[in-house]
Amino acid sequence: MYSTLITTLNEGIFTITIHRPEKLNALNKNVFDDLDKAMNEVYSNTEIKSVIITGSGTKSFVAGADIAEFSSFNKEQAIQLSQRGQQVFFKIENCPKPVVAAVNGFALGGGCELAMACHFRICSENAKFGQPEVNLGLIPGYGGTQRLTQLVGKAKSMELQMTAQIIDANEALQLKLVNHVTAVENLLSKTTEILSVINSKAPVAISKIIDCINTAVVSDTSSVLGYEKEAHHFGDCFNTEDMKEGTAAFLEKRKANFTGK
């Protein structure tokens, strides 16, 4: 049913595993199409009470958007890519059923953005988080400029996005980016344990909590503008030499040499 996801349904918990292990589960067009479909299934299937999103293997949750796929895009294609990613992630964020990210390794770029679109995050000790897009001459395009700021505050969000620093699980916990850190082998059992508690509560009340809390952080016009601005600024970066250099350097496995053009 899905070419890039493995899904299971157990006692009301629907687990979506992003499965592109050879590319560290990077998000390409097919993953977005599959995630969109999987979320439609979550909205419509009454047997699903809550959702876990995780990555295949123990090395990576999601290592970002697929850099090879977008490296030759023009500005318009880049804006569309960003808007498509934002739309799928809004579907996750606004889901009336709880969606929790079980972060099992690298959550970089689009991976960190996917985790942040979930209602909360639990990670294993080997998890690593970051928005390293500036290394590619880019900015986050799937809501990262907005959601990281909501979660860790303006100053830390500025520092993390401008330095491209990768942080470990304990720092993510300190910054309140994740709610719990577990041993690698306990990640899914801990996540399931929390969701089992939530699944025993009244589903209508749970959906109202999600809606009210989302409204507390994303309803004002400035945050809508923030997402629009992000998509257009993401597109603007595709008109720069630095973006071409940054993505080429990643694909050629070398350090980028930025010139400011």
Least distance CB 41 / ligand COA (angstroms): 26
Residue with tokens 């709610």: 179
With respect to ligand COA, which residue has the nearer C-beta, 98 or 130?
130
C-alpha closest to that of 5 among 35, 47, 49 = 35
Q: Is 159 a catalytic residue?
A: no
Pinpoint the alpha helices (H) of the chain: 29-44, 67-70, 75-93, 110-117, 144-152, 154-163, 169-174, 187-199, 203-218, 221-237, 241-251
Q: Which of 11, 22, 47, 113 is catalytic?
A: 113
Least distance CB 251 / ligand COA (angstroms): 7
Least distance CB 84 / ligand COA (angstroms): 14
Least distance CB 209 / ligand COA (angstroms): 32
With respect to ligand COA, which residue has the nearer C-beta, 114 or 122?
114
User: Is the distance from CB of 190 to CB of 134 less than 8 angstroms?
Assistant: no
C-alpha closest to that of 101 among 27, 5, 187 = 187
Q: Is 193 a catalytic residue?
A: no
Query: What residues make contact with ligand COA under the rule CB under 6 A?
Result: 23-24, 26, 63-68, 106, 108-110, 132-133, 135-136
With respect to ligand COA, which residue has the nearer C-beta, 98 or 109?
109
Q: Which of 22, 125, 133, 252 is catalytic?
A: 133
With respect to ligand COA, which residue has the nearer C-beta, 53 or 198?
53
First to last CA, the chain: 44
Residue with tokens 């895009």: 73
Which residues, listed in sequence order, are joined to residue 14 by a DSSP beta bridge?
A: 9, 51
Catalytic residues: 113, 133
